[in-house]
Amino acid sequence: MKRLLLLLTAIFILASCTGKDNSDKNPAEDKYPTPTEQNLVVGFSQMNHINPWRVAETNDLKRKAEELGIELIILDGESSQEKQIEDIIELVALGVEYIILAPLVFEGWDEVFSTCRDAGIPLIMLDREVDGIPGVDFLTFVGGDFVKEAISAAEWLIEKTVSSAKIIELRGRERASCVIDRERGFRETIEQTEGMKIVISEYADFERIKGQRVMEEIILSYGRDFNVVYAHNDEMAIGAIQALKAANIQPNVDVIVISIDGSKDALKSVIAGELGATVECTPKLAEQVFAAIMRNELGKSVPPKIIVPERLFDKSNALEHIDEAF
């Protein structure tokens, strides 16, 4: 039923695009149409909405699309690559003019590349990378540099832990590009410092509740012989902090916790003296996404990768940036 409604909505949107009258427009403007004038319809396949980061990303795209007068059709992949592939096929069938894909995992998107290519629909990869060639298999990738984020986290940690560090790593989700990169950048950096080692590494799917449960299990089965938690995102770190406190392990005193994203809750935790630091990975990517679409509409070249700058927040600057956090 939901699908049928969506289809009808899209047919209505598309029908209303075709009857557009541009006769009173200056021809020079027609040569360089803005997306508003074109009444673009853009499809977005979001992998899920299980954490505040995902919700913030979708809302940012909605906000910007609305501002530009672009119709955005959002489909939720329910944490399934198969569902995301079906969603893309559906978006193509609906006749959208661009597709934005926030891909759950790194591999297995060949069918999406060829479907979009055959339909002549430019594809934009959002926030996670895939094993295709940017600029060839898809128009561009927009997001952060995950290796760099992990290096910043590791460097901050090396500075804080003067002696040895026994690290628990809470990884995000299996086969996701940001997880692969956040593992790699972190390991390559700590390996250069003697006395820093990862003692346990577990998946907690980027979720707060799972971060908490996994941390509880680790404390039960492994014990307390660790002094650092490195979480691939803030939500898992916040969950882990709850588990630490419940076990009478004091964050920031007994165990240093560091994570990635820079959410409002994480900055609050830094200010409260619990989370040590968080490396920014912003979900607010709409400006860059729609700027790329705009450039493409104007026939200008679009760089194959659009990497957004990211900062680190700890107690020296968290308060200053809390209002801009998501």
Question: Measuring CA to CA, how many Å separate 209 from each of 60, 238, 256, 276?
Answer: 25, 9, 20, 20
Closest CB to ligand GYE among residues 64, 128? 128
Closest CB to ligand GYE among residues 186, 206? 206
Pairing of strands 71-76, 140-143: unpaired
Distance (Å, whole) CA 190 – CA 311:
20
Residues 197-236 that bind ligand GYE (CB under 6 A): 206, 233
By the rule CB under 6 A, 281 interacts with ligand GYE: yes
3-state SS class at 184: helix
Matching residue, tokens 């307390």: 224
Closest CB to ligand GYE among residues 87, 261? 261
Residue 105: CB partners within 8 Å, gap ≥ 6? 81, 173, 174, 175, 176, 177
Of the candidates 171, 190, 168, the residue with the CA atom closest to the CA atom of residue 179: 171
Distance (Å, whole) CA 40 – CA 278:
37
Q: Is the dihedral of CA 107, 110, 111, 114 positive or negative?
A: positive
The one among 137, 183, 261, 310 contacting ligand GYE by CB under 6 A: 261
Number of Cα atoms under 13 Å in the Cβ half of residue 246: 13
Residue 261: CB partners within 8 Å, gap ≥ 6? 53, 233, 234, 235, 278, 279, 280, 281, 283
The minimum distance between CB 205 and ligand GYE, in angstroms, equals 9
The minimum distance between CB 32 and ligand GYE, in angstroms, equals 33
The one among 10, 168, 178, 215 contacting ligand GYE by CB under 6 A: 178
Over the Cα atoms of the chain, what is R_g? Answer: 22
Closest CB to ligand GYE among residues 145, 155? 145
Closest CB to ligand GYE among residues 53, 109? 53
By the rule CB under 6 A, 171 interacts with ligand GYE: no
By the rule CB under 6 A, 181 interacts with ligand GYE: no
By the rule CB under 6 A, 127 interacts with ligand GYE: yes
The minimum distance between CB 176 and ligand GYE, in angstroms, equals 7
Any idea what the Cα angle at residue 202 is, between residues 197 and 204, rounded to 5°?
135
The minimum distance between CB 199 and ligand GYE, in angstroms, equals 23
Residues 93-122 that bind ligand GYE (CB under 6 A): none
The minimum distance between CB 148 and ligand GYE, in angstroms, equals 12
The minimum distance between CB 158 and ligand GYE, in angstroms, equals 22
The 3-state secondary structure of 226-241 reads CCEEEECCHHHHHHHH
By the rule CB under 6 A, 128 interacts with ligand GYE: yes
Closest CB to ligand GYE among residues 94, 178? 178
| Number of chain residues interacting with ligand GYE (CB under 6 A) | 11
Q: Write the binding mask 31 to 70 for ligand GYE: x where contact by CB under 6 A, - elsewhere.
A: --------------------x-xx----------------
Residues in the site for ligand GYE, rule: CB under 6 A?
51, 53-54, 127-128, 178, 206, 233, 260-261, 281
